[in-house]
Amino acid sequence: MSLFRNHRELTSHGDTALRGVALEVASAGLAALDPGPAVDRFLHREGGDLVVDGRRYSLDRRVVVFGAGKASLRIAQRVEKICGAAVDEGIVVVRRGEGGPLRTLALVEADHPLPTEASLFAGEAVLELAGTLGPDDLAICCVTGGSSALLSVPPSGVSFGAKRDLHDLLLRSGASIGEMNAVRKHVSQLKGGRLAARIAPAEIINLTVSDVIGGALDLITGPTVPDTTTAADAIGVLRGHDLWSRVAPSIRAHLESPEACSPDLSDVGLHTTILITGDAACAAMVETAAERGFGSHVLSTTFDTEATDTGRAVAAAARKCRAAGDPLDPPCVLVGCGGESTVALKSVGDVLGEGGPNQEAALVAALNLEPGDPIVVLAMDTDGSDGGTDHAGALIDGGTVLRAAEAGTDPQEHLLAHTSGRLLGKLGDLLVTGPTGTNVNDLFVVVVGR
């Protein structure tokens, strides 16, 4: 079953058979990333206890749930179902327009990828509730990717406007997710383990999904685990991307002060369970490809490059299969999930939302294929919103560049202007899933025909 709402449009042109295979394989990967069933695999109730990944926690006490991020709602809904009336209260913060039913927990909508006043309100509400917990209480934290924008409270001395501008500069810089989070964790009242410090001395259960290479916990669920970076790291990132002189003076002063240091959580009782990684999607995609009679190979679960490099790499891998049968003879499918492509906007006037990293990577892949190649490339963000747009990514094939020429458009011009989405939309090659309720960063499928 296809999870793409515009499946018919996407398979109405180009190499329709291979496009259909790519969509089917990608749908299997997305289905495997649903955090709801994953919660059921790791959590269950035994009388008055909650068992999480083999650890037992008494529910005979005050139980408070905190959630923020793109996958937080699905996790929180399952926690409510499993724990039932044992959940006393809590707050779940989701991206605007992506709310859903909750029994006891309060739902708050905020904004992503750039924080707004709603994000500030949500962050302050979470901090206020966290401050009410005592040593006998239990906090269940469902914090996933996207929380940096959804919960955004600047440190003392830094205005919300200055913090929002910092997020904007980082998003445009081409910095990796690790670099961006190294900065954001040290200019926050929540990230870098600060929310956990506020919740303490209550016991903390973290439930999350991996949206970074290697599953580094402080990059996945930064507010509620120990920080492994320093303020000096944050300063280094800003200097390395020529942003130090462009951020507000108050941010520079803060990062050079003791207040930027993250708290010590060594005495806080917390346990973290990663519910899903990109490996689950890859396994499901490989199985589905085999069912369709295609050889399959996991190309990468750790790609973390600029979008143009990602596009060139997947196109090169596909051409290598065609030319040398390496690593597989066609027909075959190459898949990947778990990394993230980035785009460095060249001008402060460039507008976010004219495309996204996956749309740009797909267009680059199209430019690196030979006209008529029986090759299809699907590149998408697993949360359903590539670069903050309404599209999950794009699907291209060996005829994409020819169709662009017939439409009177130049793909190279769109790449230079970072408006890949505008061109791909005209060609009917943008992916539409709507909010997926998960977030394991980027996923790609490359189908190579005979």
Ordered per-residue pLDDT tens for the chain, 450 residues: 789 999 999 999 999 999 999 999 999 999 999 999 999 999 999 999 999 999 999 999 999 999 999 999 999 999 999 999 999 999 999 999 999 999 999 999 999 999 999 999 999 999 999 999 999 999 999 999 888 899 999 999 999 999 999 999 999 898 888 899 899 999 999 999 999 999 999 999 999 987 655 556 655 667 999 999 999 999 999 999 999 999 999 999 999 999 999 999 999 999 999 999 888 999 999 999 999 999 999 987 767 778 899 999 999 999 999 999 999 999 999 999 877 777 776 544 444 447 899 999 999 999 999 999 999 999 999 999 998 899 999 999 999 999 999 999 999 999 999 999 999 999 999 999 999 999 888 999 999 998
53 burial level (CB within 10 Å; 0-12, 13-18, 19+): middle
Which residues, in sequence order, are bridge partners of residue 67? 92, 142
Distance from C-alpha of 360 to C-alpha of 419, rounded to nearest angstrom: 8
Confidence (pLDDT) at 216: 62
Cβ-contact 199, 187 below 8 angstroms = no
Number of H helices, E strands in the chain: 18, 15
Domains of the chain in start order, with CATH, are 7-32+278-448 (3.40.1480.10), 36-153+188-227+262-276 (3.40.50.10180)
- The SS3 assignment for 189 reads coil
**307 contacts 360 by C-beta, under 8 angstroms:** yes
What angle is formed at CA 369 by the lines to CA 387 and CA 378, rounded to 5 degrees? 35
What's residue 221's pLDDT?
Answer: 61
Residues in the chain: 450
Q: Are 399 and 15 in contact (CB under 8 A)?
A: yes
Identify the CA nearest to 236 among candidates 190, 185, 306, 179. 179
Supply the DSSP symbol for 306.
B
Q: Which two tokens stand for residue 84?
A: 């039932």
Q: Which two tokens stand for residue 365?
A: 């892949």
The pLDDT value given to residue 351: 47
Query: What helix, strand, coil percent values describe the chain, rounded to 5?
Result: 40, 20, 40
pLDDT of residue 347: 47
Phi and psi based region of residue 36 (left: phi greater than 0; alpha: psi -120 to 50; beta: remaining): alpha
Distance CA 126, CA 147 (A): 12
Output the CA torsion 344→418→115→257 (10° steps): 20
pTM of the full structure: 0.91
Dmax of the chain from CA atoms?
68
Residues 6+ apart with CB under 8 A from 240: 179
Contact 394, 429 (CB under 8 A): yes
